[in-house]
Every structure is written in C-alpha cells, then in structure tokens.
Amino acid sequence: MSRKPYSWLVVVGMISLCIGLSGCRKNADTVAGSSIPIELGEHVMYGSYQGEPVEWRVLDKKDREILLLSEYGLDAQPFDTSGKSRVDWKDSTIRKWLNDDFYNSAFSEKEKENIVESKSEGFEEYNTSMNLTGGGKPYAYLERETEDKVFLLSNTELCAYFSEDPYPGCYSDPYAHKELLCYPTAYAKQQLETRYQTETCGWWLCNHVYEDDSVELVSAYGQGSGTSRENIKANTKSIAVRPAMWVTWQSDMEMVEANQQVE
C-alpha cells in the first residue's frame, strides 16, 4: 500500500466534509468538546501489522482523543472458537485476540501509551426496542459495555458513524450500502477462507442480536444487519477484522490522503 503523507496544517480547512466511502457523521456531543486539529473522515497512520503500516479513519473526537477504525480489513479471525452456540463479546476469543495478540503485535511501547482503555454503551437513540409495552430496554442490538484498548464497533455505532441519516435500526435492510464496503489488505486476503465475487470483504461487529445466536457483521457487499446470518458461524475465518480504538491525539501523527482500495 502506498500513501501520500501531508501536514495537518495543510489539512485543516481543506477537508470539512465526509464524502462517499469516507463515511463519517459528526456526533455533535463529542465533536463540540474537542479542539483537535483534525476532521472526521480524515486518515492517519498508526502502528503496523504483518509488515505494513496501518491506516486508520477518524470516526469521532472528544477532548484530546480520537476514535479510529482501521480503513482496511487487517486479518481474518473467528469471532469465537469455543464451540458454544452463543458467546457475547465480553467472553469472545476475538476480544482476547484484539487486546493481546493484535495489540502487542501492531504497536510499539510508545504507541501503546497513547491508546486509551474505553467503554461504550453505544447509541441508545439508534437501537430498536424489543419492549412492546412502552419502548426502552431490552434493545434489539447488544452493546460492548466492556473496557478495552482495542474493540469492534457495535451496530448502533455503525449507524452513528456511517449513516448520513441515522435512525433506530438503520442498516437493518437487506440492501448494499456503499459507505460500508471494506477492502482487505494483501495479508488479510491470504487469511480469508472464503472469497466472494468482489474485491471487498465482510467485517465483524461486536454484538449479537437480542435472543439470537448469530453474530452481527457487515457483508462483503456492504449489507448491514438485514443480511441473513444462517450460514455465518462464529468460528469462521471468512470474515475480516477492522479494529477500532480511542487514541490520545499527537501533533506528530502522520496524516494521509484517503484512498479507498489497497494498491
């Protein structure tokens, strides 16, 4: 992958909108409280994995911290290998892999100092209530609600950060959404057990659906939670991993122009 670095001094004021596949939506509550000189949807390089620098997309910012999502699928890992019919994020093997194997492999000790342990209850306003008597809990989509250095996005976070017009259960339709498409790195391509008739890959989300054993994901065609999960097992290696994390902003972070495909 080749990327063109440029100074954040040039970037500020150049990019104020999120367009096309950059897919980001400002969260007023968090962005309003931040003075970080970087716009949502811009890209930074941080860490390296399997010999390649990792490119991240800025999804949110708060105070001096930014929420990053890997621009590409970095690896193919099962959501869980325990063999249990249902395993939540907190007990999943992918959570352990992200916060152990990946974390220690992708980041130097200096880089680790800037990665913030975070907890998220998602966005209640974009969840769908399963309570037929008046709304509220229980909700259709479970949230992470664990403290992690590295994690996967939830369904409501997907709505909040990717949809230009988020609403409860957005991306629950069976249609493809361009902004959800993800390309795998060369290494991830080699690890994927199943390749589809597209250059893109599916990627895991962190949550189950309420009272359902299936694990949430985005399909290789950009379909959200409306996609059938009948043939997707938690122990499959046909789905890619897009890690997410909160990082303390550093003025010397390398910023790059967004490029939607791996070269």
> Total structural domains in the chain?
1
Query: What count of other Cβ atoms lies within 10 Å of the Cβ of residue 2?
Result: 7
Between 260 and 208, whose confidence is greater?
208
C-alpha separations of 25 from 18, 80, 160, 162, 165 in Å: 7, 30, 7, 6, 9
Q: Give pLDDT, residue 185.
A: 97
How much is the average pLDDT of 164-189? Answer: 86
Give the span between the Cα atoms of 62 and 248, in whole angstroms: 10
Banded pLDDT at 117 (limits 50, 70, 90): very high
The whole-number pLDDT of residue 226 equals 55
The Cα–Cα gap between 219 and 229 comes to: 10
* pLDDT of the residue at 212: 59
- CA 259 to chain CA centroid, Å, is 17
When mean pLDDT is compared across 18-27, 86-95, 111-120, 218-227, the lowest value belongs to 18-27
Cβ-contact 203, 221 below 8 angstroms: no
Lowest mean pLDDT: which of 92-101, 103-112, 139-148? 139-148
pLDDT at 130 > cutoff 70: no
- Three-state SS for 21? helix
- Please enumerate in sequence order all residues whose Cβ is within 8 A of that of 173, keeping only pairs 6 or more positions apart, or say none: 224, 226
pLDDT for position 21? 39
- Residue of 36 and 112 predicted with greater confidence: 112
User: Which of 25-34, 82-91, 221-230: highest mean pLDDT?
Assistant: 82-91
For 64, the domain range is: 5-256
pLDDT at residue 124, rounded to an integer: 63
- Mean pLDDT for 171-187 is 91
- Is residue 261 situated within a structural domain? no
Looking at residue 231, its pLDDT comes to: 55
pLDDT tens digits for range 187-224: 999 999 877 678 999 999 987 665 556 788 999 999 98
As a whole number of angstroms, the distance between CA 230 and CA 225 comes to 12
209 found inside a domain:
yes
- Contact between 44 and 146 (Cβ < 8 Å): no
Res 261: pLDDT: 55
Return the DSSP state at 214: P
> Does 263 reside within a domain?
no
The percentage of residues in the chain with a pLDDT greater than 70, rounded to a whole number, is 70
- The shares of helix, strand and coil residues in the chain, as percent rounded to the nearest 5, are 20, 25, 55
Measured CA to CA, the distance from residue 185 to residue 73 in angstroms comes to: 6
Is the pLDDT score of 85 beyond 90? no
CB atoms within 10 A of CB 51: 7
Q: What is the pTM of this model?
A: 0.81
Burial 180-214, CB ≥16 within 10 A → b, else e? bbbbbbebbbebbeeeeeeebbbbbbbbbbeeeeb
